[in-house]
Amino acid sequence: MLPAAAGYDRAITVFSPDGRLYQVEYAIETVRRGTLAIGIKAKDGVVLAVEEKTRKLQINNVTQKIFQVDDHIGVAAAGYIPDARTQVDHARFFAQSNRLIYDEPVDVEGVAKNIADMAQQFTQYAGVRPFGVALLLAGVDKNGANLFLTDPSGTYIGYDAMAIGAGSDQVTDFLEKSYKQDISLAEAASLAVECIYLVSEDKSSTKHMKMAIIDTKTKAMRKVEDEELEKYAASAKEKAGRHPA
């Protein structure tokens, strides 16, 4: 938690004397309180994975934190999830409009910019609060596989691999050491599982994780089912055994 900055944290869209926008920083704090979300680019696609603890009677085959924007674009979120849903709905509309107008699938960066622009507006105008969520936007377009991060400030940046949410600093350090650009989708998926084991209490099952893959060949997002996820987990546990964190 950040130290309370008397007064500047209450009013929206106001600079503090040292040039900071506290409401935006607090919204980013909301992201840090969310559970982990990871995006990893492979040579043949992109992987999105989230840690998602479900209660016992919750319908488990539905994910709260991974969304599909278009056939070829998916999103993993960390932070205030209802805000993520709003941003994703906005992005879906943008993607569909693009198909209607240009008769081709939208670029992933176009969607990232569109989401970030909306987020920026919510930091400058009164009468609204910033979005309390960061998104990892993964997709395959004519430029190949893409991974973008958008955050409450309205920033968007491209990454090869990125983690957001609780424990993301530790995971990002790990990714910076372990990531290689020429890994396969299976290796990326396995690496994503390894990241979740790094910060989660449950270091063996796959019940607390969800995953989606966008393949450069199919150009389509698909949900990773439990059986396949188990294979990535097995491989992750094997690797983790070789290089203990």
Residue 127 sits in the site that holds a second copy (CB under 8 A):
yes
Is the CB of 169 or the CB of 202 nearer to a second copy? Answer: 169
Q: Which stretch binds a second copy (CB under 8 A): 66-74, 112-120, 221-229, 237-245?
A: 112-120
Number of residues that bind a second copy (CB under 8 A): 75
Backbone angles phi, psi at 26, to 5 degrees: -70, -35
- Minimum Å gap between C-beta 220 and a second copy is 22
Binding to a second copy in span 185-244, by CB under 8 A = none
In whole angstroms, what is the distance from residue 218 CA to residue 208 CA? Answer: 27
Burial of 176 (0-12, 13-18, 19+ CB in 10 A): exposed
Question: For residues 196 and 51, is the Cβ–Cβ distance under 8 A?
Answer: yes
Spatial separation of the C-alpha atoms in residues 93 and 175, rounded to whole Å: 33
Please report whether residue 93 would count as binding a second copy according to CB under 8 A: no
Q: Is 120 in the site for a second copy (CB under 8 A)?
A: yes
The reply on whether position 71 binds a second copy by CB under 8 A is: no
> What Rg do the C-alpha atoms of the chain give, in angstroms?
18
Interaction mask 136-155, a second copy, x per CB under 8 A:
-----------------xxx
| CB contact burial 127-150 (16+ within 10 A = b; e otherwise) | eebbbbbbbbbbbbbeeebbbbbb
Q: Which of residues 158-187 bind a second copy (CB under 8 A)?
A: 158-162, 172, 175-176, 179
Here the contacts of 2-7 (C-beta below 8 Å, separation 24 or greater) are: 2/26, 2/29
Q: How far is the CB of 104 from a second copy (least distance, A)?
A: 22
Interface segment toward a second copy; rule CB under 8 A; list 124-132, 183-191, 192-200, 218-226: 124-132
Six-digit token string for 66: 């991974």
The correct pick among 53, 97, 157, 169 for binding a second copy (CB under 8 A) is 157
CB 231, min distance to a second copy, A: 25
Closest to a second copy by CB, 162 vs 211, is 162
Smaller CB distance to a second copy: residue 157 or 245?
157
Are 142 and 182 in contact by the 8 Å Cβ rule? The answer is no
Nearer to a second copy, 182 or 241 (CB): 182
